[in-house]
Structure 1
Amino acid sequence: MTETSESLGRRASMADVAARAGVSGQTVSRVVNGSPRVDPATRARVEAALAALGYRPHAAARALRTGRSQTIGVIVSTLASVGNSRMLEAVARAAADRDYALTVVTLGANGREALAGAFDRLRGQGVDGALVLNEASALAREAEPPRGLHLVVVDSPADDRFAVVESDHEGGARTAVEHLLALGHETVWHLAGPEASYAAAARERGWRAALEGAGVLAPPVVRGDWSSASALVVGGSIADRPDVSAVFAANDQMALGMLRALAEAGRPVPGSGAGGVSVVGFDDVPDAAQYAPSLTTVRQDFDVLGHRAVAALAEGIESGVAPAGVSTVPTELIVRASTAPR
């Protein structure tokens, strides 16, 4: 019978691999650790034995050998928003591809004190580095990251203390507003995200830049908290205005609340006659195409964001050089049924 971890009744060891491949334990160790001091034929035989037995390096032993836990921390304010949960999902996939485990800490509403506690908790668990996601990035900029903890922040201005990965929030918002203006709308109202959010501020800048570039006066900003419920409440002040014909919402969840507020006010979306309103969101959540009507929105590539963030952190961990610089991921306007000529 061919031996596997299951047939052995336990986790396969280096000794099992060495016996199967007919080599020494030291040779197996060299192959597992990527040493060049193994001839190709022997390496192929050992790799075949590793695969046949389903051998996986023991994490604790590897940590003792390399001084690394092969674990990265993720700090996030909340997982209630779709953007945060999709970002975490992308990070988890990218980390698994590099054979890193994740430890996730959510901050809740306790702010800076919670961030300091999160750093302490992650250091206590021996993580090799940490990612700070989205809204928590503002707290990271205000805090002093622990010395020796490699750090990558998603959505933040450039900072020489850590690397930054971000979407082109400003450019995406500008493209969305220019799309609405090109359809003949005289101006575009903005349902903005929280003031403390870097992404929300960047999207608001893009909205203003597009209007300014067209010589259009920006209407007053109406602000929500990323949730569809908040947009339903504050969106009424937009829906009740007969002069409104176009709205750019800072994320798709708020666009959904805006669609309902308009429906309750008897305003068709998009509508080609009097009272019709066009709506654009941001993120391109999986359900955006199923909204009624399907939502025109700006797509963020969360998979690329997650890959770049994890790659920057892993390269810093493995090289011993602190991650640095800013990586910006392009966005894309996805045109659907919620926008039409005025």
Structure 2
Amino acid sequence: MAEGSGAPRAANIFDVAKLAGVSHQTVSRVLNDLPNVRPATRARVEQAIAQLRYSPSPAARALVTKRTRTIGLVTPGNIQYGPTSIATHFNFAARAARYNVDAVSSPEADVAGVRAAVEALLRQRVDAIVLIVVDVGVLEGIRSLDLGIPLIAAAATSRPSPALVSIDQYRGARSAVRHLRELGHDRILHLAGHHRAPDAVERVRGWRDEVAAHGLEVVEPEYGDWSATSGHEIGGGWDIRRGDGIFVGNDHMAMGLIAALRARGFRVPADVSVVGFDDVPEAPYVYPALTTVRQDFAALGELIMQKVLLAVEEPDRVTESTPLPTRLIVRESTRSRRAPDAE
């Protein structure tokens, strides 16, 4: 298009709307591949776009739609398997929904740092913010935030909220303890994850309730930091007895624990049964292959994105989400106390 005697002016969304005989909002819906546009209308808009060689910039789209199709993601400053898997699968789900993700990391236990990361994302005019929570202080700190845009947190808690999504850590822990009890273990220990991690808190709660339900001795849990190193260090000096079952808060600590048990002369599972949590890729290939509780991180990533889309498009319909179920995967690190003695 020409404007006076100057250089040609690039077509804008209003030019497309005029040529197609529709509103600029309809053009926006076509550009963003949204529903409720008649096929014939969509075809006219697409023809006008091609004829005018219109190429909308992200800024132009945001100006018209008031949205940037970008989601802010705040991740903890660590490389633990669970949070990393959640972030990865959320990115996949966002990309499938044609959203971009701006990710920032923050110290995991620093409420002020998380708030600063959130404020930085707000300056980028994101449509929503997703927060992967690994510290109970951060979880409490975000409950009072009023950002003007949706904030969805991935966090396990006994206090559900429409803004939270999670995998059911509590029932996953109970399934692990129940498995050990069904194998005939009368003393079931728990090596927990970091004491401030919401997942660890819920797994401890599940372990405690299931042990109590069977009337078993309660031995207060030991706490690691999710690493194989911490599992090995605790396993080296823990009061462990032949015939014990041990529920470990994640697979990496379980691997470290098993190595420590072997160094002390315990056979797994002949002397002690061990159950982990997560079902990391290495779990089937360690010796013995690890019985564990599987979390579906792909489903969690999709659930987070579904919650974001609903919060952005239809906020009045956002309700509490049922935590996703876990699945017990039985391998060789657990065995019945009634089975013949074998390595």
TM-score band by shorter chain is 0.7 to 0.9
Partner of 1:191: 191
Q: Which runs of 5+ in 1 are unaligned?
A: 1-12
1:324-339 alignment to 2 at 5 Å?
324-339=319-334
SS in 1 for 2:185: coil
Q: Which runs of 5+ in 2 are unaligned?
A: 1-10, 338-343
CA contact (8 A) 1:191 1:235 kept: no
1:166-185 alignment to 2 at 5 Å?
166-185=166-185
Between the two proteins, the alignment pairs up a number of residues equal to 316
CA contact (8 A) 2:232 2:259 kept: yes
Partner of 1:257: 256
Cα distance change on mapping 1:14 and 1:79 into 2, 3 Å: farther
Q: Please give the alpha-carbon distance, in whole angstroms, between the structure 2 residues aligned to 1:110 and 1:145.
A: 17
Q: TM-score, with normalisation over the residues of structure 1? A: 0.82
Name the amino acid aligned to 1:225.
Answer: D
Partner of 2:149: 149
Q: Please give the alpha-carbon distance, in whole angstroms, between the structure 2 residues aligned to 1:36 and 1:198.
A: 41
The reply on whether 1:140 has 2:139 as its aligned counterpart is yes
1:70-219 alignment to 2 at 5 Å?
70-108=69-107, 111-136=110-135, 138-143=137-142, 144-155=144-155, 156-158=157-159, 163-219=163-219
Find 2:279's aligned residue among 281, 284, 287.
Answer: 284
Partner of 1:307: 302
SS in 2 for 1:148: coil
Report sequence identity in percent.
36
Partner of 1:293: 288
Q: Tell me the CA shift for residue 315 of structure 1.
A: 1.4
CA contact (8 A) 1:115 1:140 kept: no
Q: Deviations over 1:221-261 (max 9, x none)?
A: 111011111111112223x6334521100111111111111
Q: Deviations over 1:171-208 (max 9, x none)?
A: 11111111111111111110001121111111111111
Q: Tell me the CA shift for residue 24 of structure 1.
A: 4.2
Partner of 1:9: none
Name the amino acid aligned to 2:320.
Answer: G
Q: Please give the alpha-carbon distance, in whole angstroms, between the structure 1 residues aligned to 2:322 and 2:167.
A: 8
CA RMSD of aligned residues (A): 3.0
Partner of 2:247: 248
Q: Deviations over 1:54-105 (max 9, x none)?
A: x985322211111111111111223311011111111101111111111112
SS in 2 for 1:316: helix
Q: Please give the alpha-carbon distance, in whole angstroms, between the structure 2 residues aligned to 1:43 and 1:86.
A: 38
Q: TM-score, with normalisation over the residues of structure 2? A: 0.82
Q: Tell me the CA shift for residue 266 of structure 1.
A: 1.9
Partner of 1:269: 268
